């Protein structure tokens, strides 16, 4: 491509022997030559046809796709790769081709799982170039088009092909991986086989310490769902000659050195030693690699063999074969006794031969004959011919190469069997890791085959590139029919054509025994004398040169014939197939006779040609993708870029060939916007006002007079050299404009100097006049000053005297007033103290008098009642002595007395139990209850004494009656008198019966009074307990969580065994009514069966009623009940009903599970944010209620089920139900008011309640997460549009200051803000707690920060100045929304955008080159890490003013710090999707809650079973 319009002052590229290309400025043009001042200070003269224009406006960090280069030529490509490599940007696109430059250092942040997630399903070119992007495109094409794909990884030794292949397979496993054998994925199995293949197929070369000496094609097979289902490894052209021949300073295959470094017992077992002792290894002086331990690698290879399924027995056999090859190499021959015969040279050779036979388990004599003799079979006889020493050595080497080749093929088959292939797979992605083009000082048959492979792949590559060009032209609808295709078919015909190709001639030469390399070379000279790609060297008779696509390569044909022969010597085949070792015999299976007769000759060239054809067929059946690996230097160290070496690799890799194909068409392509933005200066009238981009581009090109360009649908296509011509016109335009600006600036500067001189003259005159005026003013000022000083001095002296007198007066007044105040205060204190003492003394006297008076009253009452009782007793005794005992009356009286006695004893036992419980519990009451207890004790004692007196009187009367002796009737007078006495006695008995009934009635009244007092005392006890709970609430709260966890663990272990028992007991306890507690004991003992039946029927009716109420409640909450005074009605209903029905306190209930199921069914519609926010409000409110009221104690286990009535304090509270008069409990009410609502008092929760609480907590987290994910899904598409400014047809003239432009540019940001507002409205409508809203927006803003910031780091087009201004304006919109929204809901969410805000702030600041590293890292971007700062500063480009990023010194300092730190963390941010709160934190940040005064739904309000929910009237 010849440059055009090279003018004086143009920046160009010129060839240089040291750095390939160097830039400079044209100083002078003499005809066809130009004098150039290079950047290194030299002056060179070059032809205009050999220099290329330089794009001075290219971004500082290069471009990620080299098709975007203004000048697509070799120096531009090289400079772009060098610039990006300096910034650790190792990947660059050339269309769909990825160029990967080996960094020679670990960059783990580029290959972690987070980076894989970013490139998943991302379009090619949207993110920065990466190997994951190529793998993703191949995978998506395979899934969408149902066609197999292939990825061709090529490059010279050391360019990183193997590592790139590993990254590709890792990413493909990330997309479609599944568990394989023994828990290992297919990708893992393939990677685990690498150590084995590297040990037996890799070796040290001049350019690489671990060079693959074979080609590898990995087929990763996928099923219909896109999951990896199998894999296979195909190998090509193992370098067999390396087994016997090694050049210094290279090494043989790694496995030989690994075996020599094995443990001592292994070395003794195989009779090995140092590598220099073996002929196959000591041909080179390199035995060890720097930084590599062969002993450790041996163990690692052994472990890898275990992993891929090679048994211990097979491993021993493998290394036995390897050791046998080493021993074979030490067998030397000398001339035998006969002519042209050979024999073993010495005892050392015999020892190695014997060791080899032992290791191969074959006959020693047969092995020696196979090396020294040949068997010729003729129709008449079998002839044994001896070999001379040289032929015997060749036979030995042939045997060693054959054994090693068969061993390598066996390993590959074993690995494929271990991995497993999917026969039903219809799609695959093949990863080809193959050697690159090679050209050394000495090039043999291996280099010929390698370069033949690369020629074949280059033809495939050229066809693909040309196809891509055609697709691009067709897409843009431009004419491309006259573009010529660069093809290398003539080289391939030279190599492979039949007949007459190099491979065909080589096979013919190998078939003739007398052919030599000289005759083969002469045959080539004669055949290809006139071929333009074949060159005969002038100084050699056996070499030949082929002009490949990458350059000319001279081959030495000395060993072509030997290396091409591939058939196995029959003696070797028979010997090893008869080995006693099954492994060795398996490497050489018997060859069928038909095969032996039909294929007498086989060549490596023909076999390789066949394999290559099969490979090309596979590649042609797939959609190809290309990765070109480049080695930046030969010292294998980071941060070194050797331009000459890289240019050679680009040529060998076909990149320059692809550039030539592009240059044959339209190498320069610009979108309409970019073209107008760059060249609108050439025709400014075209872009005035409203215009169409395509028409504007055509007008600019027509005005410049260019021909041959094409206008597509979205791009302008320019021929080679036209971009340079446009740039030259543009530079001329800019130069003229600069001259006009300079002229104006110089005029302005001169005028400014004149005006400054004029101002200086005026100022000088002003100063002189001012000096004269100052002197006059000074004299006047001194005179006035003297007068002022005198006046002020006199005033000061007078003022000082006055202040002294005033100060003394103030001190005297202060002292006197303070003395009077102290006396008055002392008198008040004494008066107050006397008043207090008097009040206390009077109180004490009154209280003492009251106690004495009360005690005296009780004593008087007791004595008076005793006196009355004794009087009645004496009367009864007197009446009893006078009357006789009548049996019938006595019996009836006895029965009555016994019944009364039984009742008194029963009452006595009750009173005794009651007194015992009172005495124990009253000690625990507060001092305020002591007076009440004393009154109760005195009343009970009085009742007991009265009962005792009555009982004693009855007993005495009965005893007297019994002791009466019958008196004989003396006469009728006595009988009549006695009859009268009996009548009197009957009357007395009747009166006694009346008195007994009166005493019984008084006893019942006393019992009723006692019951009333017990009720009042129980209420008092409840209030006391509430007070204690309020005081111990904090301590109980701390112990709740530990006890709850302990209870849940115990309950989970025992609930299966005790579920039925707990259910029965819980029902009997919770459903028992107070009416059954006070049934008469005597009636209960007589009618127990009837009472149980009645109680069971009542229990069943109650259960059925409760079930109906539960069903009704579930039907109500399944509907949206709405809110009442900002509180969710459903949550309040559920809580109040559960508390009323004591569902929290039972051991087993299914109603809580039904509530949970109802909630779960309601939130199944995850896309309805209204329903989700409604239930988030209800579940969170209900969770808060449970969090504040449920508690669990350590004793609340499975075995502890004693109710409150079974305790001593419970029995006492059941006996006393009232509050005594005079006891003031107002202090309890004052303590509880305003702190704990009675409805929210602590509830001792059982296992179902605790489980229900945990399920509610899980639902709160689930609903919160769904809303969070819905909001993220809604704003994710907008974020991708918010990070990059939209380009319109008038983008060049649009500014951010006008309102119309803001409406157009910020539509996506406004959509983002609108989404936030809509969600906030829905959340506030559902009265979701502000704490949850705050947490939601904090997390979402963090997600916005992560997405925008990561997109900024991964997309270079987002790091421009114009785009940064756009994002900054969008962030301002978001900040205004945060400001308008109250802090209660948004809070500090704006602070979560700190990364993107600081990054955008850095991009829009001016004078970046003047900023230091300390200013940027500590003042401008303190939050960003050094990696993030480095990436932003290197990706920045100014598309508006053309300014530069940070200075090269600052960038170099950051890179050095990154190298020193050796950080492996990713520069991308992670999105935290965890739940950012817990139930405790939610309860802490929520205001006071209540369940009272809510509006009930009609179904609940009209049902009598929910009467407890209705407000209670006064």
Least confident span in 394-408, 832-846, 1305-1319: 1305-1319
For 158, the 3-state DSSP assignment is coil
The overall average pLDDT reported for the chain is 79
Is the CB of residue 1256 less than 8 Å from the CB of residue 1330? Answer: no
CA 1384 to chain centroid: 29
Q: pLDDT (tens digit, 9 = 90+) per residue, 687-733?
A: 877 788 888 888 888 888 887 788 888 888 887 767 777 877 887 88
Question: pLDDT confidence of 1303, banded at 50, 70, 90?
Answer: low
Region 437-454 average pLDDT: 84
Report percent pLDDT > 90 for the chain: 18
| 535, 544 contact by CB (below 8 A) | yes
Stretch 200-218: mean pLDDT = 84
pLDDT for the residue numbered 316: 94
**What was the pLDDT predicted at 961?**
44
**Cα(914)–Cα(979) distance, rounded to whole angstroms?**
48
Q: With contact defined as beta carbons under 8 Å apart, do 554 and 545 qualify?
A: yes
Contact (Cβ atoms closer than 8 angstroms) between residue 717 and residue 672: no
pLDDT in tens, 864-885: 988 888 888 888 888 777 665 5
pLDDT digits (tens, 9 = 90+) for 1350-1393: 888 888 778 888 888 888 888 888 888 888 887 777 777 888 88
* Angle at the Cα of 258 from the Cα atoms of 256 and 263, rounded to 5 degrees: 125
Contact 1129, 1497 (CB under 8 A): yes
Q: Which residues of 199-225 are buried (b: 16+ CB within 10 A; e: fewer)?
A: bbbbbbbebbbebbbbbbbbbbbbbee
Q: Quick check: 1267 pLDDT over 50?
A: yes
Q: What is the pLDDT of residues 828-853, one digit of tens each?
A: 999 999 999 999 999 999 999 999 99
Most confident segment among 571-585, 651-665, 966-980, 1458-1472? 571-585
Burial readout 1272-1284 (b: 16 or more C-beta within 10 A, e: otherwise): bebbeebbeebbb
Contacts 24+ apart (CB under 8 A), 860-863: 861/942, 862/942, 862/945
The predicted pLDDT at position 601 comes to 61
- Cα 322 to Cα 1283: distance, rounded to the nearest angstrom: 60
Which band of pLDDT confidence, cut at 50, 70 and 90, is reported for residue 260? very high
Residue 1214 confidence (pLDDT) above 50: no
Asked if pLDDT for residue 151 goes beyond 60, the answer is yes
The angle that helices 161-176 and 131-145 make with each other, rounded to 10 degrees, is 50
Question: Which pLDDT score is estimated for 760?
Answer: 94
Average pLDDT over residues 1423-1430: 87
Give the Cα separation of 188 and 200 in Å (integer).
20
What are the pLDDT digits (tens) for 1460-1483?
665 555 678 877 777 777 767 676
| 295 vs 377, more confident | 295
Tokens standing for 196?
A: 């084995």
- 1226-1239 pLDDT, tens digit per residue, is 333 333 333 334 44
- What's the mean pLDDT in 528-555? 89
Mean pLDDT of 1149-1178: 83
* Average pLDDT value for residue range 320-339: 91
Query: Quick one: pLDDT at residue 958?
Result: 54
Chain length of the chain: 1514
Predicted pLDDT at 184:
63
What mean pLDDT comes out for the span 328-335?
A: 92
End-to-end CA distance of the chain: 104
Residues 908-937 have pLDDT tens digits of: 777 777 777 666 766 666 665 666 667 667
Q: Are strands 333-335 and 342-344 parallel, antiparallel or unpaired?
A: antiparallel
DSSP annotation of 512 reads S
Q: What's the pLDDT score for residue 1376? A: 87
pLDDT at residue 752, rounded to an integer: 93
| pLDDT for res 1136 | 83
Q: Which residues contact 261 (CB under 8 A, 6 or more apart)?
A: 293, 294, 295, 297, 298
- Residue 661 binned pLDDT confidence (cut-offs 50, 70, 90): low
Q: What is the rounded average pLDDT of the residues 482-506?
A: 81
- 52-53 and 11-16: which strand pairing? antiparallel
Extract the tokens encoding 1159.
Answer: 């909630």
Could you tell me how many helices (H) and strands (E) the chain has, helices first?
49, 28
Q: Rounded CA gap, 456 and 452, in Å?
A: 6
Question: Which residues are designated catalytic?
Answer: 157-158, 162, 208, 211-212, 436, 438
**Of the candidate ranges 874-883, 931-940, 1104-1113, 1491-1500, the one whose mean pLDDT is the lowest:** 931-940
Give CA–CA dist 201/291, Å, rounded: 20
Q: Which residues pair with 35 in a beta bridge?
A: 28, 45
Higher pLDDT, 1349 or 883: 1349
pLDDT at residue 1050 in the model? 53
Residue 962 has pLDDT above 50, yes or no: no
Q: How many whole angstroms separate alpha carbon 233 and alpha carbon 192? A: 13
Nearest partner of 401 among 245, 584, 193, judged by Cα:
245
The least confident of 167-176, 531-540, 594-603, 1405-1414 is 594-603
pLDDT digits (tens, 9 = 90+) for 769-796: 999 999 999 999 999 999 999 999 999 9
Q: What is the pLDDT of residue 1?
A: 40
Q: How confident is the model at residue 954 (pLDDT cuts 50, 70, 90)?
A: low
Q: What is the pLDDT of residue 1031?
A: 54
Name the β-bridge partners of 333.
Answer: 344
Q: What angle in degrees, to the nearest 10, is found between the helix axes of 489-496 and 502-511?
A: 10
Please confirm whether the linkage preceding 499 is cis (ω < 30° from 0). Answer: yes
Going by pLDDT thresholds of 50, 70 and 90, the confidence category of residue 155 is confident
pLDDT range class, residue 1290, cuts 50, 70, 90: very low
- pLDDT tens per residue, range 40-69: 888 888 888 888 888 887 777 788 888 778
- Candidates 1300, 1040, 1305; CA nearest to 1189 is 1040
Structure tokens at 310: 């090679």
Q: What is the pLDDT of residue 1213?
A: 35
Place of tokens 């041996």: 298
| pTM for this predicted structure | 0.62
What mean pLDDT do residues 187-209 have? 83
């Amino acid at each position: 491509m010849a440059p055009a319009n090279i003018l004086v002052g143009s920046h160009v590229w010129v060839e240089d022997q040291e750095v390939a290309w160097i830039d400079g400025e044209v100083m002078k043009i003499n005809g066809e030559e130009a004098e150039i001042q290079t950047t290194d200070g030299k002056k060179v003269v070059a032809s205009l046809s050999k220099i290329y224009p330089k794009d001075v406006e290219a971004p500082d960090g290069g471009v990620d796709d080299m098709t975007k280069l203004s000048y697509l030529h070799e120096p531009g490509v090289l400079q772009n790769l060098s610039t990006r490599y300096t910034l650790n940007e190792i990947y660059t696109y050339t269309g769909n081709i990825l160029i990967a430059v080996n960094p020679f250092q670990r960059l783990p942040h580029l290959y972690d799982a987070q980076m894989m997630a970013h490139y998943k399903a991302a379009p090619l070119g949207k993110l920065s170039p990466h190997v994951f992007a190529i793998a993703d495109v191949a995978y998506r094409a395979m899934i969408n088009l149902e066609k197999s794909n292939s990825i061709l990884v090529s490059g010279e030794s050391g360019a990183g092909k193997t590592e790139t292949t590993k990254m590709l397979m890792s990413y493909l496993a990330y997309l479609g991986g599944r568990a394989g054998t023994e828990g290992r994925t297919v990708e893992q199995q393939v990677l685990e086989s690498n150590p084995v293949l590297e040990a037996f197929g890799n070796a040290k070369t001049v350019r690489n310490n671990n060079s693959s000496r074979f080609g590898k094609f990995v087929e990763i097979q996928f099923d219909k769902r896109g999951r990896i289902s199998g894999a296979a490894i195909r190998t090509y052209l193992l370098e067999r000659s390396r087994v016997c021949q090694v050049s210094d300073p290279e090494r043989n295959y790694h496995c030989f050195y690994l075996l020599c470094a094995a443990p001592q017992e292994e070395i003794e077992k195989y009779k090995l030693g140092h590598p220099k002792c073996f002929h196959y290894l000591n041909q080179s002086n390199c035995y060890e690699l720097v930084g590599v331990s062969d002993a450790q690698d041996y163990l690692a290879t052994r472990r890898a063999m275990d992993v891929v399924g090679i048994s211990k027995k097979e491993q021993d056999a493998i290394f036995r074969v390897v050791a046998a090859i080493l021993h074979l190499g030490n067998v030397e021959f000398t001339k035998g006794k006969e002519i042209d015969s050979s024999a073993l040279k010495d005892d050392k050779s015999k020892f190695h031969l014997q060791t080899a036979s032992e290791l191969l388990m074959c006959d020693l004599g047969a092995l020696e004959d196979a090396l020294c003799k040949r068997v010729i079979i003729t129709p008449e006889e079998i002839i044994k011919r001896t070999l001379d020493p040289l032929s015997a050595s060749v036979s030995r080497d042939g045997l060693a190469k054959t054994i090693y080749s068969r061993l390598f093929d066996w390993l590959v088959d074993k690995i494929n069997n271990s991995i497993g292939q999917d026969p039903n797979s219809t799609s695959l992605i093949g990863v080809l890791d193959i050697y690159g083009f090679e050209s050394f000082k000495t090039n043999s048959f291996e280099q010929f085959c390698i370069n033949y492979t690369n020629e074949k792949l280059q033809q495939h590559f050229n066809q693909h590139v040309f196809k891509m060009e055609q697709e691009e032209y067709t897409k843009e609808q431009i004419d491309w029919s006259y573009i010529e295709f660069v093809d290398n078919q003539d080289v391939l015909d030279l190599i492979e054509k039949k007949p007459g190709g190099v491979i065909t001639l080589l096979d013919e030469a190998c078939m003739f025994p007398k052919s030599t390399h000289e005759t083969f070379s002469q045959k080539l000279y004669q055949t290809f004398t006139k071929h333009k790609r074949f060159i005969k060297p002038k100084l050699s008779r056996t070499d030949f040169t082929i002009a490949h696509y990458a350059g000319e390569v001279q081959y030495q044909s000395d060993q072509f014939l030997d290396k091409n022969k591939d058939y196995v010597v029959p003696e070797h085949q028979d010997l090893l197939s008869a080995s006693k070792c099954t492994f060795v015999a398996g490497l050489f299976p018997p060859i069928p006779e038909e095969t032996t007769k039909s294929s007498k000759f086989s060549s490596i060239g023909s076999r390789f040609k066949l394999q290559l054809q099969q490979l090309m067929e596979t590649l042609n059946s797939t959609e190809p993708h290309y990765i070109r690996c480049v080695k930046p230097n030969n010292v294998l160290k980071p941060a070194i870029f050797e331009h000459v070496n890289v240019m050679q690799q680009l040529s060998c890799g076909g990149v320059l060939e692809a550039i030539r194909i592009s240059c044959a068409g339209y190498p320069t392509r610009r979108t309409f916007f970019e073209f107008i933005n760059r060249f609108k200066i050439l025709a400014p009238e075209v872009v005035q006002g409203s215009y169409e981009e395509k028409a504007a581009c055509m007008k600019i090109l027509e005005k410049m007079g260019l021909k041959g360009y094409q206008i597509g649908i979205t791009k302008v296509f320019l021929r080679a050299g036209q971009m340079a011509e446009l740039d030259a016109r543009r530079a001329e335009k800019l130069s003229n404009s600069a001259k006009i600006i300079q002229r104006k600036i110089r005029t302005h500067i001169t005028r400014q100097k004149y005006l400054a001189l004029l101002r200086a003259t005026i100022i000088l005159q002003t100063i002189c006049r001012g000096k004269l005026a100052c002197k006059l003013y000074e004299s006047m000022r001194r005179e006035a000053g003297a007068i002022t000083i005198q006046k002020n001095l006199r005033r000061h002296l007078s003022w000082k005297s006055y202040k002294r007198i005033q100060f003394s007066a103030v001190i005297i007044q202060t002292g006197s007033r303070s003395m009077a105040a102290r006396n008055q205060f002392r008198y008040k204190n004494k008066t107050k103290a006397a008043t207090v003492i008097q009040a206390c003394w009077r109180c004490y006297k009154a209280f003492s008098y009251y106690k004495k008076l009360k005690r005296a009253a009780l004593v008087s009452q007791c004595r008076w009642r005793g006196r009355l009782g004794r009087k009645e007793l004496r009367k009864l005794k007197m009446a009893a002595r006078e009357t006789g005992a009548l049996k019938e009356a006595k019996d009836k009286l006895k029965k009555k007395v016994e019944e009364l006695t039984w009742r008194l004893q029963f009452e006595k036992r009750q009173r005794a139990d009651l007194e015992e419980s009172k005495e124990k519990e009253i000690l625990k009451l507060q001092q305020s209850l002591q007076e009440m207890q004393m009154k109760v004790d005195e009343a009970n004692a009085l009742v007991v004494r009265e009962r005792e007196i009555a009982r004693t009187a009855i007993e005495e009367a009965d005893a007297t009656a019994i002791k009466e002796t019958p008196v004989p009737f003396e006469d009728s007078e006595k009988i009549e008198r006695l009859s009268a006495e009996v009548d009197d006695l009957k009357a007395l008995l009747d009166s006694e019966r009346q008195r007994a009934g009166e005493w019984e009635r008084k006893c019942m009244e006393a019992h009723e009074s006692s019951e009333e007092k017990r009720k009042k005392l129980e209420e008092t006890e409840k209030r006391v307990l509430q007070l204690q709970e309020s005081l111990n609430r904090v301590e109980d709260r701390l112990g709740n969580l530990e006890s709850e966890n302990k209870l849940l663990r115990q309950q989970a272990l025992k609930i299966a065994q005790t579920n039925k028992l707990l259910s029965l007991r819980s029902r009997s306890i919770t459903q028992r009514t107070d009416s059954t507690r006070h049934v008469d004991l005597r009636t209960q003992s007589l009618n127990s069966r009837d009472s149980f039946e009645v109680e069971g029927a009542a229990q069943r009716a109650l259960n059925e009623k409760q079930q109906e109420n539960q069903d009704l409640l579930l039907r109500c909450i399944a509907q949206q009940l709405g809110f009442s005074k900002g509180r969710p009605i459903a949550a309040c209903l559920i809580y109040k009903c559960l508390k009323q029905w004591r569902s929290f306190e039972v051991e087993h209930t299914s109603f809580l599970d039904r509530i949970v199921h109802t909630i779960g069914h309601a939130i199944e519609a995850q896309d309805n944010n209204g329903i989700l926010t409604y239930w988030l409000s209800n579940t969170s409110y209900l969770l808060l209620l449970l969090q504040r009221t449920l508690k669990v104690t350590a004793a609340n286990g499975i075995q502890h089920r004693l109710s409150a009535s079974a305790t001593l304090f419970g029995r006492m509270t059941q006996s006393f139900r009232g509050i005594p008069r005079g006891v003031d409990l107002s202090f309890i009410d004052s303590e509880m008011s305003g702190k704990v609502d009675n409805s929210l008092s602590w509830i001792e929760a059982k296992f179902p309640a605790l489980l229900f609480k945990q399920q509610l907590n899980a639902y709160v987290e689930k609903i919160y997460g769904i809303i969070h994910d819905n909001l993220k899904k809604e704003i994710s598409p907008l974020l991708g549009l918010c990070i990059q400014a939209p380009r319109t047809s008038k983008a060049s003239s649009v500014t951010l200051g006008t309102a119309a432009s803001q409406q157009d540019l910020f539509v996506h940001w406004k959509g983002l803000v609108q989404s936030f507002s809509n969600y906030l409205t829905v959340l506030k409508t559902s009265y979701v707690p502000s704490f949850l809203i705050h947490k939601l927006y904090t997390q979402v803003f963090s997600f916005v920060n992560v997405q925008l910031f990561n997109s900024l780091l991964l997309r270079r087009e987002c790091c421009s100045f114009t785009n940064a201004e756009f994002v900054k304006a969008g962030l301002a919109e978001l900040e205004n929304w945060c400001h308008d929204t109250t802090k209660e809901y948004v809070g500090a969410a704006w602070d979560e955008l700190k990364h993107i805000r600081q990054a955008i702030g850095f991009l829009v600041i001016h004078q970046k080159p003047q900023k230091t590293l300390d200013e940027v890292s500590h003042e401008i971007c303190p939050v960003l890490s050094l990696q993030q700062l480095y990436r932003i500063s290197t990706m920045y480009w100014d598309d508006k003013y053309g300014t530069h990023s940070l200075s090269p010194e600052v960038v170099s300092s950051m890179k050095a710090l990154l190298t020193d730190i050796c950080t492996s963390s990713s520069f991308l941010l992670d999105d935290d999707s965890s739940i950012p709160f817990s139930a405790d934190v939610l309860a802490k940040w929520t205001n006071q809650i209540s369940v009272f005064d809510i509006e009930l739904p009609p179904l609940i309000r009209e049902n009598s079973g929910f009467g407890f929910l209705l407000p209670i009237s006064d």
